[in-house]
């Protein structure tokens, strides 16, 4: 089959492209401002990329056009596909019919922690010799790629997928995960997000219920009992066994950040424990969900916990990008107030009472929900534990300075990246930790900060 993908440089669509190429299909694609790192991955995989959405691409004459959910009506190539009656399909639907069909799909859903939990789950299965395929919205450091068809065992039935609740395509407003038909599903948590497509939390709960309706009776739902929103979604109807975690008398994960301990308990009994490199209650919950999902695929929890001692986290999850003048610069994907607060708290635990030890939080409100200002009232509280706060406010439809005014003088708002970098670099001193949070590239700010710190050092 020959497919041409519209919007190919997004993480999800780029992953589909790589899976399709690995499966032996011919793949080309286009995007606006074809950009790395995905463009580099795709080119290395032998996939031809075309800049822009010119209607002349119809001359490629693929068997099918695969349409990413970033493509809207008015796109010139899409309009001509519709005018000419060419075959088209959404990314999730193509994936379901050509990769997932007949496989044991393990899907990880939730507002937060999908990428980390999916990465943990894929690694546990890999470490146990089950050789899973996967499609994840980030790059697990244990694998170095965001997607693969299978591991060393080419007939492995297992496939781990990050199950996103965002809509499927311009013509299919159901959540992506409706297409995946998983046998094992993790429901990690559920908060209001994606205000550009959902009116309220109840609307997202309905989509999660629709996912639950697709699971077989012989499947398994691993669900966070601490989340009332998930309980409401399950209460709408459930025909699949549910294994809950974070229950007082059930499965729980504990540990100590200082010692790196991860401990698995059930009721009052300690099942197993290990040392690992991650920190925070949120990551322990992610680990517990992954362990229970892997157990459903045949990996004992003790074996899974051993695998997590070798788990190397995910790129852009508290990733240290470098240090200059004794100042560390981190990159993190956090873009929702809950994730922002959790990330800052995690860094605070990590640095403890180190000399200096200030956290300079740098935020780009880039997601559609953030740009709409729906979460702006929650930002001051989510950033309160940082010592200084810097916000990049270009292209926002709301007043960031006003929204962050409860933080007083410790908050700075800028409309230019260069001026933002200059201000941060001049403020930073040895022992500080600059935490950059964005779900995009943020104009390469990490490298710019390190360069500015280096230059200040040279001229000191």
Query: The domain spanning residue 8 has which CATH number?
Result: 3.40.50.720
Count Cβ atoms below 10 Å from residue 199 Cβ, excluding itself. Answer: 9
- What range does the domain containing 390 cover? 319-458
* Bigger pLDDT: 335 vs 209: 209
Region class of 182: left (phi > 0), else alpha (psi between -120 and 50), else beta: beta
Residues 288 and 206 in one domain: yes
Which CATH number does the domain housing residue 194 bear?
3.40.1190.10
Q: Which of 91, 120, 151 is the last residue of a domain?
A: 91
In a domain, 97, yes or no: no
Q: Which of 308, 338, 355 is the last residue of a domain?
A: 308
Residues 284 and 420 in one domain: no
CA atoms within 13 A on the CB side of 440: 12
Q: In Å, what is the CA distance from 51 to each residue of 34, 57, 127, 304? A: 6, 10, 39, 43
Among 122, 241, 107, smallest CA distance to 187 is for 107
pLDDT for residue 99: 96
Tens digits of residue pLDDT in 31-43? 997 766 778 889 8
Q: Is the pLDDT of residue 373 over 90?
A: no
| Beta-strand relationship, 388-392 and 411-414 | parallel
Per-residue pLDDT band for 29 (boundaries 50, 70, 90) equals very high
CA distance 353 to 226: 31
Residues 352 and 295 in one domain: no
Q: CA-based angle 359:360:364, to the nearest 5?
A: 130
Which CATH number does the domain housing residue 389 bear?
3.90.190.20
Mean pLDDT computed over 369-392:
86
Count Cβ atoms below 10 Å from residue 283 Cβ, excluding itself. Answer: 27
Q: What kind and span of H or E run contains 186?
A: strand 184-187
Among 107, 341, 120, smallest CA distance to 212 is for 107
Mean pLDDT computed over 410-432:
89
Per-residue pLDDT band for 355 (boundaries 50, 70, 90) equals low
CA distance 271 to 250: 12
pLDDT for residue 10: 86
Torsions phi, psi of 297, nearest 5? -90, 0
Residues 233 and 343 in one domain: no
| Partners of 27 in beta bridges | 3
Q: Is the pLDDT of residue 360 over 90?
A: yes
Sign of the CA dihedral running 304, 310, 315, 316: positive
Report whether 65 contacts 81 (CB < 8 A): yes
Q: Is the pLDDT of residue 354 over 70?
A: no
Residues 182 and 233 in one domain: yes
Per-residue pLDDT band for 47 (boundaries 50, 70, 90) equals very high
Domain count, the chain: 3
Q: Is the pLDDT of residue 457 over 70?
A: no
Report whether 3 contacts 66 (CB < 8 A): yes
DSSP for 301-344? HHHHHHHHTT---BTTSSEEEEEETTEEEEEE---SHHHHHHHH
pLDDT for residue 126: 97
Residues 160 and 285 in one domain: yes
Per-residue pLDDT band for 320 (boundaries 50, 70, 90) equals confident
DSSP for 378-401? GHHHHHTTSSEEEEE-TT-SS-HH
Tens digits of residue pLDDT in 83-127? 999 999 999 999 999 999 999 999 999 988 899 999 999 999 999
Per-residue pLDDT band for 299 (boundaries 50, 70, 90) equals very high
| Partners of 330 in beta bridges | 320, 435
* Bigger pLDDT: 412 vs 346: 412
Residues 289 and 328 in one domain: no
Report whether 440 contacts 417 (CB < 8 A): no
Among 369, 371, 418, 356, smallest CA distance to 390 is for 418
User: With the CA atoms of 389, 395, 397 and 399 taken in that order, what torsion angle do they form, in degrees rounded to the nearest 10?
Assistant: 30
Q: Is the pLDDT of residue 292 over 80?
A: yes
Residues 218 and 106 in one domain: yes
Torsions phi, psi of 459, nearest 5? -100, 5
In a domain, 202, yes or no: yes
Q: Which of 288, 308, 328 is the last residue of a domain?
A: 308
| Beta-strand relationship, 133-135 and 147-148 | antiparallel
Among 232, 195, 228, smallest CA distance to 212 is for 232
Query: Which letter, b or e, does each residue of 224-257 get, where b requires 16 or more Cβ atoms within 10 Å of its Cβ?
Result: bbebebbbbbbeeeeebebbbbbeeeebbbebeb
Per-residue pLDDT band for 440 (boundaries 50, 70, 90) equals confident
Report whether 255 contacts 261 (CB < 8 A): yes
pLDDT for residue 458: 62
Q: DSSP letter at 376?
A: G
Residues 9 and 33 in one domain: yes
User: With the CA atoms of 25, 31, 34 and 39 taken in that order, what torsion angle do they form, in degrees rounded to the nearest 10?
Assistant: -30
Mean pLDDT rounded to a whole number for the chain:
90
| Partners of 411 in beta bridges | 389
0.75 cut: is pTM over it? yes
Tens digits of residue pLDDT in 52-82? 999 999 999 999 999 999 999 999 999 999 9
Residues 386 and 273 in one domain: no
Residues 446 and 372 in one domain: yes
Mean pLDDT computed over 152-172:
93
Residues 267 and 333 in one domain: no
Count Cβ atoms below 10 Å from residue 259 Cβ, excluding itself. Answer: 8
Q: Is the pLDDT of residue 234 over 60?
A: yes
């Amino acid at each position: 089959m020959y497919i041409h993908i519209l919007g190919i440089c997004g993480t999800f669509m780029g992953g589909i492209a790589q899976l399709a190429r690995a499966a032996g299909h011919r793949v080309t694609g286009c995007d606006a401002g074809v950009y790395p790192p995905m463009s580099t991955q795709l080119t290395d995989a032998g996939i031809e990329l075309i800049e822009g959405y010119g209607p002349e691409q119809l001359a490629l004459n693929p068997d099918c056009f695969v349409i990413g959910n970033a493509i809207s009506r008015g796109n010139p190539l899409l309009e001509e596909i519709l005018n000419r009656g060419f075959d088209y399909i959404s990314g999730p639907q193509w994936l379901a019919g050509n990769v997932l069909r007949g496989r044991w799909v393990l899907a990880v859903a939730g507002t937060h922690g999908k990428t980390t939990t999916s990465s943990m789950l894929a690694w546990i299965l890999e470490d146990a010799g089950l050789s899973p395929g996967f499609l994840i919205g980030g790059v697990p450091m244990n694998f170095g790629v965001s997607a693969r068809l299978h591991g060393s065992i080419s007939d492995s039935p297992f496939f781990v997928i990050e199950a996103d609740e965002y809509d499927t395509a311009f013509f299919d407003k159901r959540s992506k995960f409706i297409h995946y038909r998983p046998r094992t599903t993790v429901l990690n948590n559920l908060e209001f997000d994606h205000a550009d497509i959902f009116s309220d939390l109840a609307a997202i709960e309905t989509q999660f219920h629709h996912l639950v309706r697709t699971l077989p009776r012989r499947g398994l739902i691993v669900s966070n009992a601490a989340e009332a929103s998930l309980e409401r979604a399950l209460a709408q109807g459930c025909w699949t066994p549910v294994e809950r975690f974070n229950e007082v008398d059930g499965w729980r994960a504990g540990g100590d950040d200082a010692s790196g301990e991860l401990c698995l308990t059930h009721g009052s009994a300690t099942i197993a424990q290990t040392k690992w490199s991650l920190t925070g209650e949120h990551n322990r919950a992610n680990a517990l969900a992954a362990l229970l999902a892997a157990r459903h695929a045949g990996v004992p929890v003790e074996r899974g916990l051993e695998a997590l001692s070798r788990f190397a986290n995910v790129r852009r999850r508290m990733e240290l990008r470098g240090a200059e003048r004794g100042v560390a610069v981190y990159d993190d994907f956090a873009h929702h107030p809950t994730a922002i607060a959790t990330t800052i708290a995690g860094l605070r635990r990590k640095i403890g009472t180190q000399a200096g030890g200030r956290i300079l939080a740098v935020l780009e409100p880039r997601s559609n929900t953030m740009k709409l200002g729906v979460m702006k009232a929650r930002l001051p509280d989510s950033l309160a534990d940082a010592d200084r706060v810097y916000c990049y406010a270009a292209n926002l439809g709301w007043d960031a300075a006003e929204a962050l005014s409860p933080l007083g003088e410790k908050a700075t708002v800028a409309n230019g990246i260069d001026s933002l970098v200059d201000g941060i670099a001049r403020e930073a001193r040895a022992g500080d930790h600059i935490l950059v949070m964005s779900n995009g590239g943020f104009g390469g700010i990490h490298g710019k900060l390190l360069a500015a710190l280096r230059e200040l050092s040279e001229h000191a």
